[in-house]
Structure 1
Amino acid sequence: MLPKQDFRQALDDTLQSKLTLNHPIFETLFDPANPDLETLRKVALQGYQLTKNFLEYIETLFYFCPKDRKHKRRLLFNLFEEETGRVSKTKNHVELMEDFLRAIGIDDERRDAVLALPQTQELIDYRMKACKDPETYHIGAAAVMVASEGQNLETRGAEARDVLFKKVYGLKDEDLLFFSVHQEEDVHHVRHGLDLVTDVCTTEQMQQEALHAVAHTCDLFYGMYEGIHQELLAGRL
Protein backbone atom coordinates (compact mmCIF):
# COMPACT_ATOMS: atom_id res chain seq x y z
CA MET A 1 0.00 0.00 0.00
CA LEU A 2 1.35 3.44 -0.95
CA PRO A 3 1.93 6.06 1.73
CA LYS A 4 -0.82 8.66 1.63
CA GLN A 5 1.21 11.43 0.04
CA ASP A 6 2.59 9.10 -2.64
CA PHE A 7 -0.89 7.80 -3.40
CA ARG A 8 -2.29 11.33 -3.64
CA GLN A 9 0.48 12.23 -6.08
CA ALA A 10 -0.20 9.08 -8.10
CA LEU A 11 -3.87 10.09 -8.43
CA ASP A 12 -2.89 13.54 -9.65
CA ASP A 13 -0.26 12.15 -12.02
CA THR A 14 -2.84 9.78 -13.51
CA LEU A 15 -5.22 12.67 -14.09
CA GLN A 16 -2.54 14.81 -15.72
CA SER A 17 -1.50 11.98 -18.04
CA LYS A 18 -5.00 11.67 -19.54
CA LEU A 19 -5.75 14.98 -21.24
CA THR A 20 -8.98 14.74 -23.21
CA LEU A 21 -8.56 18.14 -24.88
CA ASN A 22 -6.00 16.35 -27.05
CA HIS A 23 -8.87 14.73 -28.98
CA PRO A 24 -8.86 15.80 -32.66
CA ILE A 25 -12.38 17.21 -32.42
CA PHE A 26 -10.97 20.14 -30.47
CA GLU A 27 -8.72 21.02 -33.41
CA THR A 28 -11.96 21.70 -35.26
CA LEU A 29 -13.67 23.49 -32.40
CA PHE A 30 -10.78 25.82 -31.60
CA ASP A 31 -9.64 26.70 -35.12
CA PRO A 32 -9.90 30.52 -35.26
CA ALA A 33 -9.64 30.51 -39.07
CA ASN A 34 -12.67 28.21 -39.48
CA PRO A 35 -15.19 28.51 -36.62
CA ASP A 36 -17.48 25.47 -36.77
CA LEU A 37 -20.55 26.51 -34.83
CA GLU A 38 -22.64 23.47 -35.74
CA THR A 39 -19.99 21.05 -34.47
CA LEU A 40 -19.74 23.11 -31.29
CA ARG A 41 -23.50 22.82 -30.86
CA LYS A 42 -23.42 19.04 -31.20
CA VAL A 43 -20.53 18.65 -28.76
CA ALA A 44 -22.22 21.01 -26.30
CA LEU A 45 -25.49 19.07 -26.47
CA GLN A 46 -23.67 15.90 -25.42
CA GLY A 47 -21.90 17.84 -22.69
CA TYR A 48 -25.31 18.95 -21.47
CA GLN A 49 -26.23 15.29 -20.89
CA LEU A 50 -23.34 15.11 -18.41
CA THR A 51 -24.24 18.40 -16.72
CA LYS A 52 -27.82 17.26 -16.07
CA ASN A 53 -26.54 14.33 -14.00
CA PHE A 54 -23.68 15.95 -12.13
CA LEU A 55 -25.67 17.25 -9.17
CA GLU A 56 -26.87 13.71 -8.43
CA TYR A 57 -23.29 12.46 -8.25
CA ILE A 58 -22.39 15.11 -5.67
CA GLU A 59 -25.61 14.53 -3.70
CA THR A 60 -24.87 10.82 -3.52
CA LEU A 61 -21.22 11.27 -2.55
CA PHE A 62 -22.33 13.62 0.21
CA TYR A 63 -24.97 11.17 1.44
CA PHE A 64 -22.59 8.21 1.61
CA CYS A 65 -19.55 10.17 2.75
CA PRO A 66 -17.78 8.59 5.74
CA LYS A 67 -18.38 10.46 8.97
CA ASP A 68 -15.57 12.91 8.45
CA ARG A 69 -16.74 16.47 9.02
CA LYS A 70 -14.07 18.01 6.79
CA HIS A 71 -14.99 15.96 3.73
CA LYS A 72 -18.74 16.17 4.32
CA ARG A 73 -18.54 19.94 4.71
CA ARG A 74 -16.55 20.30 1.49
CA LEU A 75 -19.05 18.16 -0.41
CA LEU A 76 -21.88 20.21 1.07
CA PHE A 77 -20.33 23.44 -0.22
CA ASN A 78 -19.82 21.79 -3.62
CA LEU A 79 -23.45 20.69 -3.63
CA PHE A 80 -24.62 24.14 -2.55
CA GLU A 81 -22.69 25.80 -5.40
CA GLU A 82 -23.93 23.32 -8.01
CA GLU A 83 -27.54 23.89 -6.95
CA THR A 84 -27.54 27.63 -6.30
CA GLY A 85 -24.41 29.28 -7.74
CA ARG A 86 -24.27 31.36 -4.57
CA VAL A 87 -20.54 30.82 -3.97
CA SER A 88 -19.64 32.06 -7.45
CA LYS A 89 -22.46 34.63 -7.35
CA THR A 90 -23.98 33.22 -10.53
CA LYS A 91 -26.75 30.61 -10.72
CA ASN A 92 -27.51 26.89 -10.75
CA HIS A 93 -24.88 25.18 -12.90
CA VAL A 94 -27.37 23.44 -15.18
CA GLU A 95 -28.89 26.86 -15.86
CA LEU A 96 -25.41 28.21 -16.67
CA MET A 97 -24.98 25.44 -19.24
CA GLU A 98 -28.42 26.19 -20.66
CA ASP A 99 -27.41 29.85 -21.02
CA PHE A 100 -24.35 28.75 -23.01
CA LEU A 101 -26.50 26.57 -25.27
CA ARG A 102 -28.84 29.48 -26.00
CA ALA A 103 -25.86 31.75 -26.71
CA ILE A 104 -24.67 29.37 -29.45
CA GLY A 105 -28.12 29.18 -31.02
CA ILE A 106 -29.70 26.12 -29.42
CA ASP A 107 -33.28 26.70 -28.32
CA ASP A 108 -34.83 24.81 -25.42
CA GLU A 109 -36.87 22.52 -27.69
CA ARG A 110 -33.81 21.29 -29.57
CA ARG A 111 -31.87 20.96 -26.33
CA ASP A 112 -34.52 18.80 -24.68
CA ALA A 113 -34.97 16.56 -27.72
CA VAL A 114 -31.34 15.38 -27.75
CA LEU A 115 -30.41 12.07 -26.17
CA ALA A 116 -27.02 10.88 -24.97
CA LEU A 117 -24.99 8.97 -27.52
CA PRO A 118 -23.94 5.46 -26.36
CA GLN A 119 -20.43 6.59 -25.35
CA THR A 120 -21.87 9.57 -23.46
CA GLN A 121 -24.34 7.32 -21.66
CA GLU A 122 -21.54 4.90 -20.76
CA LEU A 123 -19.70 7.74 -18.99
CA ILE A 124 -22.87 8.83 -17.17
CA ASP A 125 -23.72 5.29 -16.06
CA TYR A 126 -20.20 4.33 -14.95
CA ARG A 127 -20.01 7.22 -12.50
CA MET A 128 -23.59 6.82 -11.30
CA LYS A 129 -23.18 3.11 -10.56
CA ALA A 130 -19.97 3.71 -8.61
CA CYS A 131 -21.48 6.56 -6.59
CA LYS A 132 -24.69 4.72 -5.72
CA ASP A 133 -22.98 1.73 -4.08
CA PRO A 134 -21.34 2.44 -0.69
CA GLU A 135 -18.94 -0.45 -1.37
CA THR A 136 -17.51 1.42 -4.36
CA TYR A 137 -17.55 4.88 -2.78
CA HIS A 138 -13.81 5.31 -3.36
CA ILE A 139 -14.27 4.54 -7.05
CA GLY A 140 -17.15 6.99 -7.40
CA ALA A 141 -15.23 9.69 -5.56
CA ALA A 142 -12.17 9.18 -7.77
CA ALA A 143 -14.27 9.18 -10.94
CA VAL A 144 -16.26 12.29 -10.03
CA MET A 145 -14.13 14.42 -7.72
CA VAL A 146 -10.77 13.82 -9.40
CA ALA A 147 -11.25 12.70 -13.01
CA SER A 148 -14.47 14.59 -13.81
CA GLU A 149 -13.83 17.82 -11.93
CA GLY A 150 -10.33 17.74 -13.40
CA GLN A 151 -11.68 17.96 -16.96
CA ASN A 152 -12.56 21.61 -16.44
CA LEU A 153 -8.96 22.52 -15.58
CA GLU A 154 -7.52 21.39 -18.90
CA THR A 155 -6.11 24.03 -21.23
CA ARG A 156 -4.78 24.24 -24.78
CA GLY A 157 -1.69 26.37 -25.13
CA ALA A 158 -2.30 27.70 -21.59
CA GLU A 159 -5.78 28.93 -22.61
CA ALA A 160 -8.94 27.61 -20.94
CA ARG A 161 -12.15 26.68 -22.75
CA ASP A 162 -13.91 29.96 -22.02
CA VAL A 163 -11.02 31.99 -23.43
CA LEU A 164 -10.91 29.86 -26.57
CA PHE A 165 -14.67 29.95 -27.12
CA LYS A 166 -14.66 33.72 -26.72
CA LYS A 167 -11.78 34.11 -29.16
CA VAL A 168 -13.08 31.74 -31.84
CA TYR A 169 -16.85 32.32 -31.65
CA GLY A 170 -17.08 35.90 -30.38
CA LEU A 171 -19.08 34.93 -27.32
CA LYS A 172 -19.49 37.25 -24.35
CA ASP A 173 -18.21 36.62 -20.85
CA GLU A 174 -21.74 36.14 -19.52
CA ASP A 175 -22.35 33.44 -22.14
CA LEU A 176 -19.36 31.49 -20.86
CA LEU A 177 -19.93 31.56 -17.10
CA PHE A 178 -20.41 27.79 -16.99
CA PHE A 179 -16.80 27.35 -18.10
CA SER A 180 -15.16 30.25 -16.27
CA VAL A 181 -16.87 29.34 -12.98
CA HIS A 182 -15.72 25.73 -13.25
CA GLN A 183 -12.23 26.78 -14.25
CA GLU A 184 -11.97 28.62 -10.93
CA GLU A 185 -14.04 26.43 -8.60
CA ASP A 186 -12.72 23.07 -9.75
CA VAL A 187 -9.17 23.88 -8.70
CA HIS A 188 -10.48 23.53 -5.15
CA HIS A 189 -12.81 20.64 -5.98
CA VAL A 190 -10.01 18.53 -7.45
CA ARG A 191 -7.78 19.27 -4.46
CA HIS A 192 -10.62 18.27 -2.14
CA GLY A 193 -11.25 15.17 -4.24
CA LEU A 194 -7.62 14.12 -3.98
CA ASP A 195 -7.82 14.55 -0.20
CA LEU A 196 -11.08 12.59 0.02
CA VAL A 197 -9.96 9.65 -2.12
CA THR A 198 -6.60 9.51 -0.33
CA ASP A 199 -8.35 9.23 3.03
CA VAL A 200 -11.07 6.72 2.09
CA CYS A 201 -8.69 4.26 0.39
CA THR A 202 -7.47 2.16 3.30
CA THR A 203 -6.12 -0.87 1.43
CA GLU A 204 -3.80 -1.45 -1.51
CA GLN A 205 -6.71 -2.84 -3.52
CA MET A 206 -8.79 0.29 -2.91
CA GLN A 207 -5.88 2.47 -3.99
CA GLN A 208 -5.46 0.51 -7.21
CA GLU A 209 -9.20 0.64 -7.90
CA ALA A 210 -9.23 4.41 -7.38
CA LEU A 211 -6.27 4.92 -9.70
CA HIS A 212 -8.01 2.79 -12.32
CA ALA A 213 -11.20 4.83 -11.85
CA VAL A 214 -9.38 8.08 -12.61
CA ALA A 215 -7.74 6.65 -15.74
CA HIS A 216 -10.90 4.89 -16.92
CA THR A 217 -13.10 7.95 -16.41
CA CYS A 218 -10.71 10.10 -18.44
CA ASP A 219 -10.74 7.42 -21.14
CA LEU A 220 -14.54 7.51 -21.12
CA PHE A 221 -14.47 11.29 -21.60
CA TYR A 222 -12.15 10.79 -24.56
CA GLY A 223 -14.46 8.07 -25.79
CA MET A 224 -17.42 10.44 -25.62
CA TYR A 225 -15.62 12.89 -27.90
CA GLU A 226 -14.63 10.04 -30.20
CA GLY A 227 -18.26 8.92 -30.34
CA ILE A 228 -19.36 12.41 -31.39
CA HIS A 229 -16.51 12.56 -33.91
CA GLN A 230 -17.45 9.26 -35.52
CA GLU A 231 -21.14 10.19 -35.71
CA LEU A 232 -20.20 13.46 -37.42
CA LEU A 233 -17.94 11.67 -39.91
CA ALA A 234 -20.73 9.22 -40.70
CA GLY A 235 -23.26 12.02 -41.17
CA ARG A 236 -25.54 10.66 -38.48
CA LEU A 237 -25.33 13.61 -36.09
Structure 2
Amino acid sequence: MCPSRATGTPARAGPRAGSRLSSSSPAPRPSICVPNPTGTTTERLPMLGPVEYRKTLEAARDEWHSKNHPFFKTWAAGELPNAAMRAYCQQHYNFVSNASRYSGIMYGLCDWHDARELLLENLNEEEDPDERHVDLLSRFGMALGMTFEEGRSAPDLPTTAALKDFIINTLMMKSVLEGIATLTIGLESQVPELYAPLIDPLRNVYGFSDEDIEFFTLHVVADVEHGDAGFEIITNHSVDERDQQMVIEQVRLAAMKRWFYMDGLWLQYVEGRQWYPAAGAQAAA
Protein backbone atom coordinates (compact mmCIF):
# COMPACT_ATOMS: atom_id res chain seq x y z
CA MET A 1 0.00 0.00 0.00
CA CYS A 2 1.33 3.45 -0.87
CA PRO A 3 2.63 5.65 1.93
CA SER A 4 0.51 8.65 2.87
CA ARG A 5 1.91 12.17 3.30
CA ALA A 6 0.64 15.68 3.83
CA THR A 7 1.98 19.13 3.08
CA GLY A 8 0.84 22.72 3.17
CA THR A 9 1.43 25.96 1.28
CA PRO A 10 2.13 29.18 3.19
CA ALA A 11 -0.15 32.14 2.63
CA ARG A 12 1.24 34.88 0.40
CA ALA A 13 0.16 38.40 -0.42
CA GLY A 14 1.04 41.06 -2.97
CA PRO A 15 2.45 40.88 -6.53
CA ARG A 16 4.93 38.16 -7.43
CA ALA A 17 7.99 38.02 -9.63
CA GLY A 18 6.96 37.00 -13.11
CA SER A 19 3.30 37.81 -12.39
CA ARG A 20 0.84 38.26 -15.25
CA LEU A 21 0.29 41.81 -13.92
CA SER A 22 3.64 43.12 -15.09
CA SER A 23 6.68 41.96 -17.01
CA SER A 24 8.89 44.68 -15.49
CA SER A 25 11.19 44.11 -12.54
CA PRO A 26 9.26 44.11 -9.25
CA ALA A 27 9.80 46.77 -6.62
CA PRO A 28 11.82 45.74 -3.55
CA ARG A 29 9.72 43.89 -1.00
CA PRO A 30 10.11 43.17 2.70
CA SER A 31 11.56 39.86 3.74
CA ILE A 32 9.13 37.00 4.22
CA CYS A 33 8.37 36.19 7.83
CA VAL A 34 6.78 33.02 9.11
CA PRO A 35 5.26 32.22 12.51
CA ASN A 36 7.25 30.08 14.90
CA PRO A 37 5.48 26.97 16.28
CA THR A 38 3.94 28.95 19.16
CA GLY A 39 2.58 31.60 16.83
CA THR A 40 3.82 34.41 19.08
CA THR A 41 6.85 35.73 17.18
CA THR A 42 8.22 35.66 13.67
CA GLU A 43 11.60 34.87 12.19
CA ARG A 44 13.17 36.15 9.02
CA LEU A 45 14.06 33.65 6.31
CA PRO A 46 17.34 34.69 4.65
CA MET A 47 17.80 34.64 0.89
CA LEU A 48 19.71 31.54 -0.16
CA GLY A 49 22.83 31.57 -2.30
CA PRO A 50 22.67 29.80 -5.70
CA VAL A 51 24.18 26.51 -4.53
CA GLU A 52 22.10 26.31 -1.36
CA TYR A 53 18.97 27.34 -3.26
CA ARG A 54 19.41 24.51 -5.76
CA LYS A 55 20.01 22.01 -2.96
CA THR A 56 16.86 23.20 -1.20
CA LEU A 57 14.83 22.90 -4.40
CA GLU A 58 16.18 19.40 -4.96
CA ALA A 59 15.32 18.46 -1.38
CA ALA A 60 11.76 19.77 -1.79
CA ARG A 61 11.35 17.74 -4.99
CA ASP A 62 12.91 14.66 -3.45
CA GLU A 63 10.40 14.60 -0.57
CA TRP A 64 7.92 13.31 -3.15
CA HIS A 65 10.25 12.04 -5.89
CA SER A 66 8.46 9.32 -7.84
CA LYS A 67 11.68 7.30 -8.10
CA ASN A 68 10.75 6.13 -4.60
CA HIS A 69 7.20 5.18 -5.55
CA PRO A 70 6.49 1.43 -5.32
CA PHE A 71 5.36 1.44 -8.96
CA PHE A 72 8.83 2.43 -10.18
CA LYS A 73 10.58 0.31 -7.55
CA THR A 74 8.64 -2.76 -8.71
CA TRP A 75 9.34 -1.95 -12.35
CA ALA A 76 13.07 -1.51 -11.74
CA ALA A 77 13.09 -4.90 -9.99
CA GLY A 78 11.68 -6.50 -13.15
CA GLU A 79 8.47 -7.48 -11.34
CA LEU A 80 5.88 -5.13 -12.86
CA PRO A 81 3.15 -7.04 -14.74
CA ASN A 82 2.45 -6.39 -18.41
CA ALA A 83 -0.99 -4.93 -17.63
CA ALA A 84 0.60 -2.31 -15.37
CA MET A 85 3.16 -1.35 -18.03
CA ARG A 86 0.36 -1.02 -20.56
CA ALA A 87 -1.59 1.18 -18.19
CA TYR A 88 1.47 3.35 -17.58
CA CYS A 89 1.91 3.72 -21.33
CA GLN A 90 -1.74 4.74 -21.76
CA GLN A 91 -1.92 7.17 -18.84
CA HIS A 92 1.48 8.64 -19.63
CA TYR A 93 0.38 9.23 -23.20
CA ASN A 94 -2.61 11.16 -21.83
CA PHE A 95 -0.19 13.23 -19.76
CA VAL A 96 2.77 13.82 -22.09
CA SER A 97 0.65 14.39 -25.20
CA ASN A 98 -0.04 17.78 -23.58
CA ALA A 99 3.64 18.60 -22.96
CA SER A 100 3.99 20.84 -26.01
CA ARG A 101 0.81 22.69 -25.00
CA TYR A 102 2.24 23.35 -21.55
CA SER A 103 5.48 24.70 -23.02
CA GLY A 104 3.49 26.77 -25.52
CA ILE A 105 1.39 28.36 -22.78
CA MET A 106 4.48 29.34 -20.83
CA TYR A 107 6.24 30.59 -23.96
CA GLY A 108 3.37 32.97 -24.61
CA LEU A 109 3.26 34.25 -21.03
CA CYS A 110 6.98 34.61 -20.31
CA ASP A 111 9.20 37.53 -21.33
CA TRP A 112 12.51 36.05 -20.14
CA HIS A 113 14.79 35.19 -23.04
CA ASP A 114 16.54 32.29 -21.29
CA ALA A 115 13.23 30.70 -20.32
CA ARG A 116 11.70 31.21 -23.76
CA GLU A 117 14.76 29.59 -25.33
CA LEU A 118 14.34 26.48 -23.15
CA LEU A 119 10.59 26.31 -23.74
CA LEU A 120 11.09 26.58 -27.50
CA GLU A 121 13.68 23.81 -27.35
CA ASN A 122 11.18 21.63 -25.48
CA LEU A 123 8.51 22.38 -28.07
CA ASN A 124 10.82 21.49 -30.95
CA GLU A 125 11.86 18.21 -29.33
CA GLU A 126 8.31 17.17 -28.48
CA GLU A 127 7.05 17.90 -32.00
CA ASP A 128 10.10 16.81 -34.03
CA PRO A 129 8.43 15.02 -36.98
CA ASP A 130 11.30 12.51 -37.16
CA GLU A 131 11.18 11.64 -33.45
CA ARG A 132 7.98 12.84 -31.77
CA HIS A 133 8.13 11.78 -28.14
CA VAL A 134 4.54 10.55 -28.07
CA ASP A 135 5.27 8.35 -31.09
CA LEU A 136 8.19 6.77 -29.24
CA LEU A 137 5.85 6.08 -26.33
CA SER A 138 3.32 4.53 -28.72
CA ARG A 139 6.08 2.31 -30.09
CA PHE A 140 6.70 0.99 -26.59
CA GLY A 141 2.96 0.40 -26.18
CA MET A 142 2.89 -1.68 -29.34
CA ALA A 143 5.87 -3.69 -28.08
CA LEU A 144 3.70 -4.45 -25.04
CA GLY A 145 1.06 -5.91 -27.34
CA MET A 146 -1.32 -2.97 -27.70
CA THR A 147 -2.48 -1.52 -30.97
CA PHE A 148 -1.54 2.06 -31.82
CA GLU A 149 -5.10 3.19 -31.07
CA GLU A 150 -5.33 1.31 -27.76
CA GLY A 151 -2.28 3.16 -26.51
CA ARG A 152 -3.93 6.51 -27.20
CA SER A 153 -7.59 6.01 -26.35
CA ALA A 154 -7.74 5.08 -22.65
CA PRO A 155 -9.74 7.37 -20.34
CA ASP A 156 -7.85 9.33 -17.72
CA LEU A 157 -7.68 7.91 -14.25
CA PRO A 158 -8.85 10.62 -11.82
CA THR A 159 -5.26 10.98 -10.63
CA THR A 160 -4.07 11.58 -14.20
CA ALA A 161 -6.77 14.18 -14.76
CA ALA A 162 -5.83 15.82 -11.45
CA LEU A 163 -2.17 16.15 -12.49
CA LYS A 164 -3.14 17.69 -15.83
CA ASP A 165 -5.56 20.10 -14.15
CA PHE A 166 -2.93 21.06 -11.59
CA ILE A 167 -0.46 21.96 -14.34
CA ILE A 168 -2.95 24.04 -16.33
CA ASN A 169 -4.16 25.85 -13.21
CA THR A 170 -0.57 26.60 -12.22
CA LEU A 171 0.38 27.94 -15.65
CA MET A 172 -2.73 30.10 -15.99
CA MET A 173 -3.30 31.27 -12.41
CA LYS A 174 0.11 31.51 -10.77
CA SER A 175 3.32 33.38 -11.57
CA VAL A 176 5.65 32.64 -14.46
CA LEU A 177 8.27 31.70 -11.88
CA GLU A 178 5.99 29.06 -10.36
CA GLY A 179 4.93 27.79 -13.78
CA ILE A 180 8.47 27.25 -15.02
CA ALA A 181 9.51 25.69 -11.71
CA THR A 182 6.60 23.26 -11.94
CA LEU A 183 7.45 22.11 -15.46
CA THR A 184 11.23 22.00 -15.25
CA ILE A 185 12.08 21.18 -11.63
CA GLY A 186 9.00 19.69 -10.01
CA LEU A 187 8.26 17.39 -12.96
CA GLU A 188 10.88 17.20 -15.73
CA SER A 189 13.98 17.05 -13.54
CA GLN A 190 12.63 13.84 -11.98
CA VAL A 191 12.64 11.90 -15.23
CA PRO A 192 16.30 10.79 -15.54
CA GLU A 193 16.18 9.17 -12.10
CA LEU A 194 12.83 7.56 -12.92
CA TYR A 195 13.91 5.94 -16.16
CA ALA A 196 17.63 5.17 -15.73
CA PRO A 197 16.95 2.23 -13.35
CA LEU A 198 14.45 0.80 -15.86
CA ILE A 199 16.77 0.46 -18.85
CA ASP A 200 18.53 -2.74 -17.78
CA PRO A 201 15.37 -4.64 -16.74
CA LEU A 202 13.52 -3.49 -19.84
CA ARG A 203 16.29 -5.03 -21.95
CA ASN A 204 17.34 -8.04 -19.92
CA VAL A 205 14.27 -9.04 -17.91
CA TYR A 206 11.39 -8.02 -20.14
CA GLY A 207 13.32 -8.59 -23.38
CA PHE A 208 12.60 -5.34 -25.23
CA SER A 209 14.86 -4.09 -28.01
CA ASP A 210 16.67 -0.76 -27.92
CA GLU A 211 14.20 0.52 -30.50
CA ASP A 212 11.25 -0.51 -28.30
CA ILE A 213 12.54 1.45 -25.30
CA GLU A 214 13.89 4.54 -27.06
CA PHE A 215 11.31 6.69 -25.26
CA PHE A 216 13.05 5.89 -21.97
CA THR A 217 16.68 6.09 -23.10
CA LEU A 218 16.10 9.42 -24.85
CA HIS A 219 14.61 11.04 -21.75
CA VAL A 220 17.40 9.85 -19.46
CA VAL A 221 19.78 12.10 -21.42
CA ALA A 222 17.57 14.97 -22.60
CA ASP A 223 15.87 15.74 -19.31
CA VAL A 224 19.15 16.05 -17.41
CA GLU A 225 19.96 19.03 -19.64
CA HIS A 226 16.45 20.47 -19.38
CA GLY A 227 16.38 20.08 -15.62
CA ASP A 228 19.74 21.81 -15.21
CA ALA A 229 18.57 24.67 -17.42
CA GLY A 230 15.40 24.95 -15.33
CA PHE A 231 17.38 25.26 -12.10
CA GLU A 232 19.54 27.99 -13.66
CA ILE A 233 16.52 29.95 -14.90
CA ILE A 234 14.75 29.76 -11.56
CA THR A 235 17.90 30.83 -9.71
CA ASN A 236 18.43 33.80 -12.03
CA HIS A 237 14.85 35.07 -11.74
CA SER A 238 14.16 34.54 -8.04
CA VAL A 239 14.87 38.09 -6.91
CA ASP A 240 14.41 37.75 -3.15
CA GLU A 241 13.76 35.27 -0.35
CA ARG A 242 10.01 35.52 -0.85
CA ASP A 243 10.35 34.31 -4.43
CA GLN A 244 12.59 31.50 -3.24
CA GLN A 245 10.17 30.25 -0.59
CA MET A 246 7.28 30.49 -3.06
CA VAL A 247 9.15 28.38 -5.63
CA ILE A 248 10.34 25.82 -3.07
CA GLU A 249 6.74 25.19 -2.01
CA GLN A 250 5.59 24.99 -5.64
CA VAL A 251 8.25 22.42 -6.51
CA ARG A 252 7.24 20.33 -3.50
CA LEU A 253 3.58 20.53 -4.56
CA ALA A 254 4.33 19.56 -8.17
CA ALA A 255 6.32 16.51 -7.08
CA MET A 256 3.51 15.52 -4.72
CA LYS A 257 0.95 15.72 -7.56
CA ARG A 258 3.11 13.45 -9.69
CA TRP A 259 3.34 10.97 -6.80
CA PHE A 260 -0.46 10.91 -6.57
CA TYR A 261 -0.60 10.30 -10.33
CA MET A 262 1.51 7.19 -9.75
CA ASP A 263 -0.74 6.19 -6.84
CA GLY A 264 -3.64 5.84 -9.27
CA LEU A 265 -1.71 3.41 -11.46
CA TRP A 266 -0.42 1.44 -8.48
CA LEU A 267 -3.81 1.01 -6.84
CA GLN A 268 -5.61 0.10 -10.05
CA TYR A 269 -3.11 -2.10 -11.86
CA VAL A 270 -0.76 -3.53 -9.24
CA GLU A 271 -2.83 -3.82 -6.07
CA GLY A 272 -5.85 -4.59 -8.25
CA ARG A 273 -8.31 -2.50 -6.28
CA GLN A 274 -10.38 -1.51 -9.34
CA TRP A 275 -11.08 1.79 -7.61
CA TYR A 276 -11.94 3.36 -10.98
CA PRO A 277 -13.70 0.72 -13.12
CA ALA A 278 -13.90 2.84 -16.29
CA ALA A 279 -10.14 2.58 -16.77
CA GLY A 280 -9.64 -1.09 -16.06
CA ALA A 281 -10.66 -3.01 -19.14
CA GLN A 282 -8.52 -1.31 -21.77
CA ALA A 283 -5.12 -1.80 -20.15
CA ALA A 284 -5.91 -5.31 -18.97
CA ALA A 285 -7.18 -6.52 -22.37
What TM-score does the superposition give when structure 1 sets the normalisation length? 0.86
Alignment of 1:27-106 (within 5 A): 27-32=73-78, 34=79, 36-66=81-111, 68-84=112-128, 91-106=131-146
Of 30, 36, 57, the residue aligned with 1:11 is 57
Cα distance change of structure 1 residues 25 and 74 upon mapping to structure 2, 3 Å threshold: closer
The aligned counterpart of 2:28 is none
Q: Which runs of 5+ in 2 are unaligned?
A: 1-45, 281-285
Aligned to 1:132: 172
Q: Distance in 1 between matches of 2:140 and 2:48?
A: 43
The equivalent position to 2:219 in structure 1, one of 157, 182, 190, is 182
Larger Rg: 2
For residues 54 and 151 of structure 1, the distance between their equivalents in structure 2, rounded to whole angstroms, comes to 15
Query: Which residue of 1 is the match for residue 150 of structure 2?
Result: 110
Aligned amino acid, residue 19 of structure 1: H
SS of equivalent to 2:118: helix
CA distance in 2, matches of 1:38, 1:18: 25
Offset, 1:35: 5.4
CA deviations 1:7-62 (Å, max 9, x no partner) are: 23321232234321222223443343x55111111122111111111111111222
The answer to whether the 8 Å contact 2:100/2:122 transfers is no
| Structure-2 separation of matches of 1:69 and 1:35 | 43
Q: CA deviation at 1:118?
A: 0.9
Greater alpha carbon shift after TM alignment, 193-202 vs 121-130 = 193-202
Q: Aligned with 2:192: secondary structure?
A: coil
Q: Counterparts of 1:145 and 1:77 in 2: how far apart (Å)?
A: 12
Residue 149 of structure 1 and its aligned partner are, at CA, apart by: 0.8
Deviation at 1:119, TM superposition (A): 1.0
Asked whether the 8 Å contact 1:35–1:168 carries over to 2, the reply is no
Identity %: 25
Contact 1:150 1:190 in 2 (8 A): yes
* RMSD between aligned residues: 2.1
Distance in 2, matches of 1:91 and 1:108, equals 16
Aligned residue number for residue 235 of structure 2 = 198
Listed one character per residue, the Cα deviations across residues 92-148 of structure 1 (whole Å, up to 9, x for unaligned) are 111111111111112123223311111111111111221234x42111111111121
Conservation of the 8 A alpha-carbon contact between 1:28 and 1:36: no
| CA displacement 1:146-181 (0-9 Å, x = unmatched) | 12112211158xx43333322221111111111111
How many corresponding residue pairs? 228
TM-score (norm: length of structure 2): 0.73
> Does the CA-based 8 Å contact 2:89-2:151 persist in structure 1?
no
Inter-partner Cα distance in structure 2 for 1:21 and 1:74: 25
Give the corresponding residue for 2:258. 221
